[in-house]
Homo-oligomer: A and B are copies of this chain.
Amino acid sequence: MKTPELTTQDQARLQQFLDQLHEDASVVLGYPSAQDFDYSSLHPFLGLQLNNVGDPFDDGTYKVDSRDFEREVLQEWAELVNAPEENWWGYVTNGGTEGNLYGLYLARELHPNSIVYFSQDTHYSVTKNLHFLNMRNIMIRSQPNGEIDYEDLYETLRVNRDVTPIIFANIGTTMTEAKDDIGRIKNMFADLAIGDYYIHSDAALCGAILPFMQEKANFDFADGAHSLAISGHKFIGSPIPCGIVLALQDNVNRIGRSIAYIGSMDTTVTGSRNGFTPLVLWHAMRRFGREGMRHRVQHCIALAEYAEQQLQNVGIPAWRNPGAITVVFPAAPAVLQDKWQLATANGISHIIVMPHIKREQIDSFVEDMRALRAQENPQ
C-alpha cells in the first residue's frame, strides 16, 4: 500500500508550530533540559520501528533493535557510578519515574516487610510510585537547603527498627538540587545495628554531573546504593524523555525468580521499549566523551556561580547548594515566572544553568529581575 502525504495545510501548521517551539525553548531557564544536541545523524533510524522489547541482555526473536548500543550505554554509566564490575544490571527507561519505580519495586520484592523513607523535598512522582506499589512509607523533614533532615531520619529509624528501611535518596532535589548523603545514612544503620536495608538513589539530574566532578558527593554504588536512576533528557540531553536505571545483579536475579513464579519472563517495567533513545544516549557519550562531559559540568557550575553573584549584585538573596548548577531565590514575580518558564514552589524560584545556557541569557534575566524590583520598590 502506498503511504499518503500530509496536506499542504497540515505541513504549514507543523512549520508554524516548530517556529513557535524554537521561540519558547530559547527562554527556558527553569527546567533542567540540556539543549546542546544535534542528533540528526540518528534521524534515519526513525524510518524503522526499533523495539528493544524485554531484557537488554537477551537477544529476542525480533531483531529490529538497538540492544548492542543500549548495552554500551549501560556499561559506560555503570562504570561512571561505580557499579560492581560483574554484578550490575540495568536498562534504558522512559525517564526518571520509570527508573525510580523499578528501584522501589526491586526493594519491595526483596524486603516485603519494609518502610520507605524519603524527604519532604522529594519529587511528587515518588509518592505516586509508592501508592502504586502499595508500599508503607514515612516522609522525613527536609533541611532548609532541601537535604533530608538527618536527625529526623535517625529518630524515625530508631523507633522502627523492627522493619527493614528502604531509603529513597534524592541526589539533586527538584527545587534546590540538594543531595542526600547516603554515606551518612549508612553510618546511621551501623550505629543502630540495622543490618538489612536498601538504598535507591534518585540521581535524575546529578547522576550525570557528579561522576565528572573533582569532589563527588556520596551517592553511587561505591557509597552503598543498591540501585540508581539517571535521566537522559536532563543533563545528558535528549529530544525524548529517557533514563538509565542500574541495580545490583544479585538482587535482580533474586526477584527474577519471583517474576518467573508469577508467570512473567521479562525484567523491565515496560514490555516494548524505545530503541531510539539508547542510540541518543550512545551518541551523546561518543560525542562528548568523559572529558567533554567534565567540560560541560565545569561550564555550568561556573555560569551558575556567575548567575548567583549577579542576582546578589542587584539585591536578590540568591544561593546555591555546594556544587549545584541550580540557583535559588525568593519567588520571582509571576510575569517573569511565565516569561522565563521558572518552576516556582513554596515561595522559591530557581534557574538551572544547563550546558546550552549562555551568559547573555543570564544577564538578560538578571536585568528583568532588577528592572521589575526597581519598578515595584522605587527609591
Chain A residues near B (Cβ < 8 Å): 1, 3-7, 10-11, 14, 17-18, 21-22, 24-25, 28, 30-31, 33-51, 61-64, 66, 68-69, 94-98, 105, 123-125, 127-128, 130-134, 231, 233, 237-241, 259, 262-266, 269-276, 279, 283, 286-288, 292, 295-296, 299, 337-338, 341-344, 355-356
What's the minimum C-beta distance from A40 to chain B, rounded to whole angstroms? 7
Residues of B within 8 A of A279 (CB): 14
What's the minimum C-beta distance from A135 to chain B, rounded to whole angstroms? 9
Return the contact of A38 from the options B3, B50, B337 (Cβ within 8 A). Answer: B3
The 6 closest A-B pairs by CB, nearest first: A241-B272, A46-B239, A24-B63, A128-B264, A134-B134, A43-B43
What's the minimum C-beta distance from A265 to chain B, rounded to whole angstroms? 6
A39 to B265, CA, bound (A): 33
What's the minimum C-beta distance from A148 to chain B, rounded to whole angstroms? 17
Return the contact of A51 from the options B33, B69, B127 (Cβ within 8 A). Answer: B33
Return the contact of A286 from the options B7, B274, B292 (Cβ within 8 A). Answer: B7
Residue of B nearest to A259 (CB): B128
Residues of B within 8 A of A63 (CB): 24, 28, 341
Q: Is the CB of B272 within 8 A of A233?
A: yes
Residues of B within 8 A of A237 (CB): 49
Given the interface pairs A42-B14, A95-B271, A276-B240, the reply to whether A25 lies near B48 with Cβ below 8 Å is yes
A124 to B98, CA, bound (A): 19
Residues of B within 8 A of A37 (CB): 3
Return the contact of A132 from the options B22, B97, B105 (Cβ within 8 A). Answer: B105
Residues of B within 8 A of A270 (CB): 94-95, 97-98, 241
A130 to B356, CA, bound (A): 42
A338 to B59, CA, bound (A): 12
Residues of B within 8 A of A262 (CB): 127-128, 130-131
Residue of B nearest to A344 (CB): B61
Given the interface pairs A49-B233, A50-B21, A239-B48, the reply to whether A272 lies near B128 with Cβ below 8 Å is no
Given the interface pairs A97-B272, A355-B1, the reply to whether A43 lies near B46 with Cβ below 8 Å is yes
Residues of B within 8 A of A288 (CB): 4
Q: Is the CB of B24 within 8 A of A287?
A: no
Residue of B nearest to A270 (CB): B97
Residues of B within 8 A of A275 (CB): 240
Q: Is the CB of A61 within 8 A of B94?
A: no
With contacts A5-B287, A10-B286 known, what are 13 further pairs, Cβ within 8 A? A3-B287, A4-B292, A17-B66, A18-B44, A35-B48, A40-B46, A46-B46, A49-B239, A97-B270, A132-B132, A133-B133, A133-B134, A241-B272
